[in-house]
Structure 1
Amino acid sequence: MSISVHLDRADRAGPTQVTETGRSQVERAPSAPLRVLMATRYGRLGASSRLRLLQYAPRLAEFGIACTARPFLSDGYIRALYEGGSRVKPVLAAYGRAAGLRAAIRNHDLVWIEKELLPFLPAVLERALLGEKNFILDFDDAWFLRYGGGGNRLVRTLLGGKFPALLRRASLTIVANETLRDWAIGAGARNVLLLPTVVDLDHYPIAGEPGGPFTVGWIGTPVTAPYLASIAGPLRTLAAEAPLELLVIGAPGFAIDGVTCRHMPWSEATEAHLIGQCHVGIMPLPDDAWARGKSGYKLVQYMAAGRAPIGSPIGANRAIVQDGVTGFLAGDAAAWCDRLRRLRDDVPLRRAMGVAARERAAEHYALQATAPRLAAAIRAIVTS
């Protein structure tokens, strides 16, 4: 089943001038729109699908690019993943729906694929579905490790070369950070666009700091919540010094002994408001290959809300946070303690960093800035 993206004039307001490196201006919508099939992995409950593709549809319409979304996996799959339920039925249903992919591909001018069309099936099947159609591949994580870097020898043999094979045929490969860009170029991608994962700034109004105890915010899923455990020690230390609350958004089962945790369910409608209830936001990561490929989106969200972020100096985090200006990077436990303590105790510093963080998010990590650049790249595919 495909989902057509309906447009509202209020959702399509925004600047046409790009403020990132590679500035360009895109012509407004021509009379005949370019039809793009968004072959997403998930629906709107899947963060990567929502942020990397779906949120762009209303903006791209202004440039004559009409998008239709066709999720592979249903929201039922995401719910089962986060709640620990069986995913067999939603996966089987997804492959049943895949029978209609060929017709959907034929009815569009371009296919924009999030990671892959058919998970756990060889690239030759996807090439057969695509035929000679121009297509884009989009990666926000190091997905090539899922097949090529795992411990299952059969998976490595059958699928290890899948992503390199696909990106060598792609008209454009879009990646979220420098680690993925370097991988794509090394694997033979013909055309690579580095496009960070961004926020719609209109959904992040600036709010004053909350009252009450010093509140450290974290947003994520039950899958990524274990990363928080890596800074349990620093959080306990700060909590023993003075009142501290850890606001955990989207991971109801996570807790740290000795730290007051407040849990809030995630929703697209409330996430920005909840981040505004924090004084700072955090993103701890391990130093491994998967983490180095992550997009750093949590940091972008904190910055968009005008909150100073603290992140591990891993992968895209290094590019997103200007250490000491828009937030802090913290490596070991001592550094986490020091950076959290400084932002707790120095209110003017915390607020100044929050202002600088918001400005940086608006210039480099907002949909309003990146949509024209993306539209130009898509148009270039079909006109070259």
Structure 2
Amino acid sequence: MKPRKILFICPYPFDEAPSQRFRYEQYLNIIKNEAYAFRLAPFLNLKAWKILYKSGNSAKKIAWLIISFIKRFLLLFQLHSYEFIFIHREASPVGPPFFEWIVRFIWRKKIIYDFDDAIWLEDPGEKGSLKAVLKWKSKVRNICKWSYKVSCGNEYLAEFAKKYNDKVVVNPTTIDTTYHRALEKKDSEKTVIGWTGTHSTLQYLKLVLPVLDQLSTNYDFELLVISNQKPDFDVHYMRFIPWSKRSEIEDLNKIDIGIMPLSNDIWSQGKCGFKLLQYMAVKKPIVGSPVGVNEKLLTESRAGYSATNEKEWTQKLSDLIEDYNLRNQLGKKGREYVEKNYSVLSNKNIFLGLMK
């Protein structure tokens, strides 16, 4: 008996983008063990990915985009043997859903459409720009309509998808708890407040800079920023570490308190709270804005505190800086919560159910 075949359509190369790693890549071994065969088809290859978000190299960027579109077009002639086409976010970063339409109405394949952000909305920093127009945000609702099933990272995203499709599954972003684990931390005189994320979310960290500035007058702490891009601000108490797959668990374990500030808007409502999950998985207490799924994670886990204004941020961070034992207690609760509710193992059946 031949294995059932799945084609994963995604924007970025394997093992490079957090959304892909934690939405489906960490399930690939499970899929293989369940007698599925699969192929990954990223829009960008590794060379294109490494230059696309850096300044300059305009000619190379255009050339790689053209090559990527050609490869995506040629892929349309290779779909005959696949039962499921799993599309993470979109088949191409700009333009109408031409690929998705062909898959659904010409090849008549079953599309599993997966997203973990409010991708039907314009990015806050791109409203009214040519870039926003080219992204063709209206295609999201069309792909939802054409899909066999829609996989959403939280209830807010699912409510949008349910307007266009009856088969919507809340499939949370999860953590591989055998990989994300607590390591013994070396003693340090300074408490480390940590933030991790990509360049696109660094804007949220700026929201708590006034709080951190104030705290720095009373406490000797360090702000550790782990990202693929250095922040465009500099403060005396900050240390930047470039994100690296090789050292990501070691780097997360350097943190004593994990933070996730957010603005309270419709875009942030779609966030899946992944930063909080990462901190909790390595037994770190959390402080976050109770926006979207963050509120659920903070309330249910009891692994830290919600903070909605500068006064609350100041008080909650002060409490954690001053109390080592409290940090340990909350960190343990967070780890237990992730293992039970947001681990790969606990979510395995939900993910595999997408292919049934």
1:101 correspondence with 2:71: no
Q: What are the within-5 Å matches in structure 2 for residues 44-83 of structure 1?
A: 44-83=15-54
Report if the CA contact (8 A) 1:33-1:65 is conserved: yes
Residue segments in structure 1 that go unaligned for 5+ positions in a row: 1-30
Q: In structure 2, what residue type is equivalent to 1:109?
A: E
Report if the CA contact (8 A) 1:285-1:291 is conserved: yes
Farther off after superposition, 258-267 or 153-162: 153-162
Match of 2:100 among 119, 122, 126: 126
Root-mean-square deviation (CA, aligned residues, Å) is: 2.5
Secondary structure at the residue paired with 1:299? helix
Give the drift of 1:265.
1.3
Farther off after superposition, 34-43 or 67-76: 67-76
Match of 2:238 among 246, 251, 261: 261
Farther off after superposition, 339-348 or 254-263: 254-263
The structure-2 alpha-carbon separation of the partners of 1:243 and 1:95, relative to structure 1 and needing over 3 Å to count, comes to: same
Secondary structure at the residue paired with 1:237? helix
Report if the CA contact (8 A) 1:40-1:53 is conserved: no
Partner of 1:38: 8
Give the drift of 1:257.
5.4
Farther off after superposition, 150-159 or 337-346: 150-159
Give the drift of 1:155.
6.6
Give the drift of 1:77.
4.1
The structure-2 alpha-carbon separation of the partners of 1:323 and 1:37, relative to structure 1 and needing over 3 Å to count, comes to: closer
Q: What are the within-5 Å matches in structure 2 for residues 287-306 of structure 1?
A: 287-306=264-283
CA distance in structure 1 between the aligned counterparts of 2:222 and 2:28, rounded to whole angstroms:
37
Give the drift of 1:66.
2.1
Residue segments in structure 2 that go unaligned for 5+ positions in a row: none
Partner of 2:322: 345
CA distance in structure 1 between the aligned counterparts of 2:238 and 2:53, rounded to whole angstroms:
19
Q: What are the within-5 Å matches in structure 2 for residues 153-168 of structure 1?
A: 159-168=136-145
Give the drift of 1:249.
0.6
Report if the CA contact (8 A) 2:112-2:354 is conserved: no
Q: In structure 1, what residue type is equivalent to 2:181?
A: P
Partner of 1:190: 166
Partner of 2:66: 92
Give the drift of 1:350.
1.1
Q: In structure 2, what residue type is equivalent to 1:72?
A: F
Q: In structure 2, what residue type is equivalent to 1:140?
A: D
The structure-2 alpha-carbon separation of the partners of 1:337 and 1:78, relative to structure 1 and needing over 3 Å to count, comes to: farther
Same amino acid, percent of matched pairs = 27
Partner of 2:346: 369
Q: In structure 2, what residue type is equivalent to 1:122?
A: P
CA distance in structure 1 between the aligned counterparts of 2:99 and 2:250, rounded to whole angstroms:
43
Give the drift of 1:136.
0.5
Report if the CA contact (8 A) 2:10-2:41 is conserved: yes
Report if the CA contact (8 A) 1:138-1:174 is conserved: yes
Report if the CA contact (8 A) 1:218-1:281 is conserved: yes
The structure-2 alpha-carbon separation of the partners of 1:317 and 1:104, relative to structure 1 and needing over 3 Å to count, comes to: farther
The structure-2 alpha-carbon separation of the partners of 1:112 and 1:226, relative to structure 1 and needing over 3 Å to count, comes to: same
Secondary structure at the residue paired with 1:45? coil
Give the drift of 1:151.
2.5
Secondary structure at the residue paired with 1:83? coil
Higher RCO (CA-CA < 8 Å; seq separation 6+)? 1
1:260-288: per-residue Cα shift (whole Å, max 9, x none)?
A: 11111111221111111110111111112
CA distance in structure 1 between the aligned counterparts of 2:170 and 2:83, rounded to whole angstroms:
23
**Number of matched residues?**
348
Give the drift of 1:160.
4.9
Give the drift of 1:124.
4.7
User: TM-score normalised to the size of structure 1?
Assistant: 0.84
1:282 correspondence with 2:256: no
CA distance in structure 1 between the aligned counterparts of 2:31 and 2:165, rounded to whole angstroms:
24
Q: In structure 2, what residue type is equivalent to 1:280?
A: I
The structure-2 alpha-carbon separation of the partners of 1:304 and 1:169, relative to structure 1 and needing over 3 Å to count, comes to: same
CA distance in structure 2 between the aligned counterparts of 1:133 and 1:297, rounded to whole angstroms:
31
1:33-84: per-residue Cα shift (whole Å, max 9, x none)?
A: 2210011111121222222122211112122222211101223444334433
Partner of 1:142: 118
1:6-26: per-residue Cα shift (whole Å, max 9, x none)?
A: xxxxxxxxxxxxxxxxxxxxx
Give the drift of 1:227.
1.3
The structure-2 alpha-carbon separation of the partners of 1:312 and 1:366, relative to structure 1 and needing over 3 Å to count, comes to: same
Q: In structure 2, what residue type is equivalent to 1:33?
A: P
Report if the CA contact (8 A) 1:57-1:66 is conserved: no
The structure-2 alpha-carbon separation of the partners of 1:313 and 1:365, relative to structure 1 and needing over 3 Å to count, comes to: same
1:80-110: per-residue Cα shift (whole Å, max 9, x none)?
A: 3443344323322210211222133222111
